[in-house]
Amino acid sequence: MISAWLSTLSADNHAEIAMGSDPRRRVPRTDAVLADPRLVEATRTLGRALVKAVVADAQQRARDGEIDPGQVADHAVATLPRSAATLRPVINATGVVVHTNLGRAPLSQAAIDAVTTASGATDVEFDLETGRRARRGRGALAALAAAVPAAQGVHVVNNNAAALLLTAMTLAPGKEMIVSRGELIEIGDGFRLPELMTSTGARIREVGTTNRTHLRDYADAIGPDTGFVLKVHPSNYHVSGFTKTVPVRDLATLDAPLVVDIGSGLLSPHPLLPDEPDATTVLRHGADVVTASGDKLLGGPQAGLLFGTAELIDRLRRHPAARALRVDKMTLAALEATLAGPPTPVAQALSADVDTLRARAAALAAQLPGAEVVDCVAAVGGGGAPDVELPSAAISLPERCAAALRTGARAVVGRIEDGRCLLDLRTVAPEDDAALLEAVRACTS
């Protein structure tokens, strides 16, 4: 009897499909959905393949009974991505000014506009007056030289690791780099400086001990195989107690080229960061080459910045590997605008007035039931100034809000502290307050 019943049920299903009562028969065809004006416009900006994939997903949901077949076009429109890239904009409410996992420095509007301009055909390597080839990125290089007059020469590569790599390949092929044991650093994701430098074929000559290195340690190590002396700023940690390091001005007296990696990208002294080295001071104290990052305290795009003597920078620029490490036109445009333009978001966040932050937090919390205003401490981030605490103000919400905010229509990333979700306003631009308010309302309503 069971077999007969199943046969009858199967026959009934086939009859329903034949009569058109099966809802799957009402799922619109792909070409019909793509003809929707909203999806026609989306195809122009996102591309046909991406839009078609979204439509196919909506059709499958209709077949599975999750949505009505008549809602396929609406569902597809509602689930279209903002852009053809998978990256999503995020409001950084972590209190970490230069947050590595969130892309480090947010660009200024001037830099964003410059990137837009550079995205088309530009005169990046062309002289419009003469109609001849010109030096690549001359505007960015001129702005960099103007920002650090103490440098006789400047050069740009794609990040600070690349700057160190190029330096080792140029100045110490098959030779030794003398560095203190206390400066053989490891940074994020297991990246280790010694492994980077020795990958060039150069050798690391360790001197001193983990906590104390003297000038005589360097002097005793210098010999015919010395390529250069390397001093690295331990930006993401601090060694205290019975310690000693050798200042740049003393290392400059040694009979070997001196390369200093300042890491953070600070070009001149900063009043809030007195212990953070800057390119101008280090050069004036006798460094021959200085390397730094463009997307940390400088507040610009990812780039490796090289400053130094005219002779050494020219050697670096002419090395065959320099071509492989060069930056693209959009990075050059953003770097120039960062240097020549208004204060960057990083600079603004570092110098934000704490009373103003409290006032903004109070204004937002007043519109959010259950929200509180709390004093807190923000951080520089990006491996810079690990001991510096920046007084700040935050909106305090229940801990469960953290996940909902991260996955909302406008992603907001805060931090969990003492069982609460804190949205630190030092790292939220004032113009993003309205979007932050809307995001919190959406996850708490």
- Whole-number pLDDT of residue 129: 93
Token couple for 150: 């103490």
Residue 239 has what pLDDT?
Answer: 76
Contact predicate 382/106, CB 8 Å? no
Helix (H) or strand (E) holding 303: none
Which of 98, 102, 123 minimizes the C-alpha distance to 348? 98
Which domains, from first to last, does the chain contain? 2-77 (no CATH), 90-100+347-444 (3.90.1150.180), 108-342 (3.40.640.10)
Listed as ranges, residues in the chain with pLDDT below 70 are: 1-24, 188-189, 235-237
**pLDDT of res. 92:** 97
Q: What is the pLDDT of residue 140?
A: 97
Give the pLDDT of residue 12.
Answer: 45
pLDDT of residue 21: 60
Question: In what order do the strands lie in the sheet containing 226-232?
Answer: 153-157, 304-308, 289-293, 258-263, 226-232, 176-180, 203-207
Would strands 96-98 and 372-381 be described as parallel, antiparallel, or unpaired? parallel
pLDDT at residue 388 in the model: 87
pLDDT digits (tens, 9 = 90+) for 153-212: 999 999 999 999 999 999 999 999 999 998 888 776 677 888 888 888 899 999 999 889
What pLDDT sits at residue 49? 94
The confidence score (pLDDT) of residue 235 equals 67
261 within 8 A of 288, measured Cβ to Cβ:
no
